[in-house]
Every structure is written in C-alpha cells, then in structure tokens.
C-alpha cells in the first residue's frame, strides 16, 4: 500500500511515516498543500493522510480537489481542530475520517485499514449493486447521483455516505452509535451532535419538498429510513 502524508510539521510527518513503515506501508511526504496536490496528480496512492492547516493550499480545499479528480481515494484528516463544526467542515470537504491531534498511531492504523477494506469492497462489487432505491428515491453509487421523483439532489460527500448507509439498511432503526461507527468509523461522542446535524441536512434535501417522508426519528433509539405508512 502506498500512502501520501501531507503535514507541515516535519516531526509529526516523519513519526507517521515510521509508524507506517513498521506495518509495511510505503509512503511519501508533502510539507504543503500544493506539493501534496502535485504528488496526487503524479502518483497513484491508496490513501491520503492530511492536516487541515497547511501552507499554500489548506487541507479542506485540497480534499475537495482530490475528490473532484479521484473520488475513490480514501482521505483521513489529522488536525488540532476538534469542534463539531470543524468535523462537519472536514467531512463536507470530502474526508472519510477525521482524527484530532494528539492521536495514537495504533488508532490511525486501525482506521486506515477500515477505509482501505471498504474502498476495496466497493471496487470489487458488481455493477448491479451500484443502484439503491426506496420508493422514488434513487442513488447511483457509480455516478454519485441521487434523485427523488427524477429530480437531482445535491449532497455533500458525507451526506451521500450517510444516506447510502441508511438506504442499505432500510426499515431498520439505526442508533447514533451505529451510524458513528459505520459511517464515520468512530465512536459516538455524546458531547457532540454532528449526527443529528447531518440527519437534519438530509431531511431538508430528501424530504422537505415531498409529502411522503422517508427519514424518521425513533425517540430515544435513533433514525430509520422507510416508506411512510
């Protein structure tokens, strides 16, 4: 596996590189966003680890550019910015996972493996599994297009991933803990409400303009995607 590390703190970058080498990962280091983007264009990487606060091109804009060019490349953000709003901004920019510094190398490696296995599974899936449907809601996992009543719905990368998981588990109550673990690859922090924030984002885009609601709340339990009876 070939990993790109984009981190302006040389000590941190080299620490990550040593940790990866111990697990037989090869890696390159970029010390600013523009250099990182140049390496992404020049090489094939299996995963990108990037800071947010970077010289020349910040990690958020960098992630958006990577997503536009290589939609199937996993991105992990490592940053000192740890508020709910910071995390939402990172996920909206295209990050698959978000870790706050200081971090444990073991946890970073575990999250990397989850993402690498997930993207490997997606790449190996059959073409027929790339269209999910519920009532008039349709999601194409290849084109990343979501429609309801043939009207296209514009979703951020994390909104798309959340809706994808819900469509793969229709008619089943999903707890906040399960959503956090399966969509964000993290444990739910009861001190934050980012999952509720994203559910509300989806409601506004998927349900607001339609009489038949698909996203429902089960008080004290979680959320469920189903056809309203």
Question: Using an 8 Å Cβ cutoff, are 183 and 165 in contact?
Answer: yes
Query: What is the arithmetic mean of pLDDT over 92-119?
Result: 86
Report the top-level CATH class of 2-124.
alpha beta
SS3 content of the chain, % helix, strand, coil (to 5): 45, 20, 35
What gap in Å lies between CA 111 and CA 157, rounded to an integer? 18
**Mean pLDDT computed over 61-65:** 91
Range with the poorest average pLDDT among 9-13, 97-101, 148-152: 97-101
Neighbour order of strands in the sheet with 145-148: 131-134, 137-140, 145-148, 151-153
Structure confidence at residue 127 (pLDDT): 47
Whether the predicted pLDDT of 126 surpasses 50:
no
pLDDT value at 67 more than 60: yes
Domain(s) of CATH 1.10.10.10: residues in the chain:
127-225
Residue 34 in this model has a pLDDT that exceeds 60: yes
pLDDT at 229: 62
Instruction: Assess whether pLDDT exceeds 70 at residue 164.
Output: yes
Instruction: Tell me what pLDDT residue 143 has.
Output: 81
DSSP-derived secondary structure for 1-23:
-EEEEE-S-HHHHHHHHHHHHHT
- For CATH 3.40.50.2300, list the domain ranges present in the chain: 2-124
CB count within 10 Å of CB 80 equals: 11
Mean pLDDT of the chain: 86
- 127-225: what fold? Arc Repressor Mutant, subunit A (1.10.10)
- What is the arithmetic mean of pLDDT over 15-36? 92
Q: What is the mean pLDDT of residues 214-221?
A: 91
Integer Cα distance of 206 and 163 in angstroms: 9
Question: What is the reported pLDDT for 129?
Answer: 61
Collapse the DSSP code of 116 into the 3-class scheme (helix H, G, I; strand E, B; otherwise coil) and give the result.
Answer: helix
Looking at residue 187, its pLDDT comes to 63
Rounded mean pLDDT of 32-47?
91
Q: What is the pLDDT of residue 192?
A: 65
pLDDT at 191 over 70: no
Say how far apart CA 158 and CA 102 lie, in whole Å. Answer: 24
State mean pLDDT over 123-149.
79
């Amino acid at each position: 596996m070939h990993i790109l590390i984009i981190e302006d703190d040389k000590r941190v970058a080299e620490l990550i590189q040593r940790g990866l080498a111990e697990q037989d990962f090869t890696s390159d280091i970029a010390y600013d966003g523009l250099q990182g983007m140049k390496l992404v264009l020049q090489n094939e990487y299996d995963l990108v680890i990037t800071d947010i606060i970077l010289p020349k091109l910040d990690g958020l804009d960098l992630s958006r550019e990577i997503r536009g060019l290589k939609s199937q490349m996993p991105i992990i953000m490592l940053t000192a910015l740890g508020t709910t709003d910071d995390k939402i901004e990172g996920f909206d920019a295209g990050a698959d996972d978000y870790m706050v510094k200081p971090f444990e190398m073991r946890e970073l490696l575990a999250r990397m493996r989850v993402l690498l296995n997930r993207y490997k599974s997606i790449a190996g899936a059959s073409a027929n599994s790339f269209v999910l449907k519920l009532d008039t809601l349709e999601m194409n996992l290849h084109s990343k297009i979501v429609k309801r009543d043939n009207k296209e719905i514009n979703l951020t990368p994390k909104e798309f991933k959340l809706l994808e998981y819900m469509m793969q588990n229709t008619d089943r109550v999903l707890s906040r803990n399960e959503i956090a673990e399966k969509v964000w690859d993290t444990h739910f922090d009861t001190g934050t409400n980012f999952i509720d924030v994203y559910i509300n984002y989806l409601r506004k885009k998927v349900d607001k303009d339609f009489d038949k609601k698909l996203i429902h709340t089960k008080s004290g339990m979680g959320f469920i995607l189903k056809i309203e009876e």
